[in-house]
Structure 1
């Protein structure tokens, strides 16, 4: 087994988490109440940059994949740390960085560094993960920059977000929190997929 395959097998699982199988989403065009509620959520979360989320992550390039990895994502202002734990080998991988670049630990050959996390993952793991946008999407927000189109569920929370060529589906929300936060976030830009099943949020 090549080192490239071992890394992909451990870190880039097939995006079909059995417990998170997609359901039929309600896709209502935003009425005044839905858009007003979303605007209020985005205002409340606009400065949210200190949080920890834990759950399961799976990614796919349309070719390779194994069951998803446990992961922890810590955001501390402009700095971040993502720790992945491969379910079969138990080996851990750590992606960390900030404005000055990114570092990936745990891969064969020692730590690898790059100017930004997306480019580093693309080079080292052959992933296509929109990490900058995902930082907003995991909060249920539109990322800055590209035009975004939103559809809403019957609960007036985002159901589908289309932005920068990606389709982001929200399959579950934690409505016990105010404002509500996503629990299942599936992003797809064929052939690439990223799926997150969030088990816990700690938002400061």
Structure 2
């Protein structure tokens, strides 16, 4: 086995075992809304308005907890995602070891992964850079849309998009991934409703997110 490939997941697993990373899903969960066969016209209109409001904000961020697994390998940590249009900076941290990694990139520049032993890694495909360096399979290109409760625009059309009774996405299948929206923040103070808890699965690859805080627009 390539030692470098599994270095980050093993560090995060150790941190999780010590109980300081805050395992995703350990707290009491809100009941998960069911996918419904039919959505009311009012709920459809509300969702169209939500999507328009979300897409109108090119600058956004979130902080939360992430659990990543690929087969038998994986772990938990903190995540901080900063997005400005198509430019992104994603920070992952294991609090016990105080190690952190940053993935950044955008149009016209390669994806760059910093914090690795032996120096940074870079490439045109952010997901491939992560996979080769860490063994994690994360849909980096699609997550900016998926994490906000949107189907990915720069991808093939979804195979399935199901909604809950309020018209919000409940199950999205796109690009080989199934994204389940398990909990939502209500709209407040001019901010549209946004996901609180998400699970994305593709074969033996799984990404689970609990979003503790959203930031929308210019600070």
TM-score over 0.5 (shorter chain) = yes
Deviations 1:85-105 (A, max 9, x none): 113312111111112111111
Q: 1:159 Cα shift?
A: 1.3
Map 1:9-158 onto structure 2 (within 5 A).
9-10=10-11, 17-19=25-27, 25-31=33-39, 32-66=41-75, 68-99=76-107, 100-144=109-153, 145-148=155-158, 149-158=160-169
State the TM-score, normalizing by the size of structure 2. Answer: 0.83
1:179 pairs with 2:192? yes
SS in 1 for 2:82: strand
Q: Given the superposition, is the C-alpha separation of residues 3 and 20 from structure 1 closer, same or farther in structure 2, using an over 3 Å criterion?
A: farther
Which runs of 5 or more structure 1 residues have no equivalent in the other structure? none
Task: Give the structure 1 partner of residue 3 of structure 2.
Answer: 2
1:166 pairs with 2:177? yes
Deviations 1:20-72 (A, max 9, x none): 77965401134234433322222222233211100001111121123x11110
Matches of 1:7 and 1:129, distance apart in 2: 14
* Counterpart contact for 2:170–2:180, Cα < 8 Å: yes
SS in 1 for 2:142: helix
Matches of 2:207 and 2:100, distance apart in 1: 19
Matches of 2:71 and 2:28, distance apart in 1: 18
* Counterpart contact for 1:186–1:195, Cα < 8 Å: yes
Output the aligned Cα RMSD: 2.5
State the TM-score, normalizing by the size of structure 1. Answer: 0.88
Which runs of 5 or more structure 2 residues have no equivalent in the other structure? 17-22
Matches of 2:30 and 2:124, distance apart in 1: 35
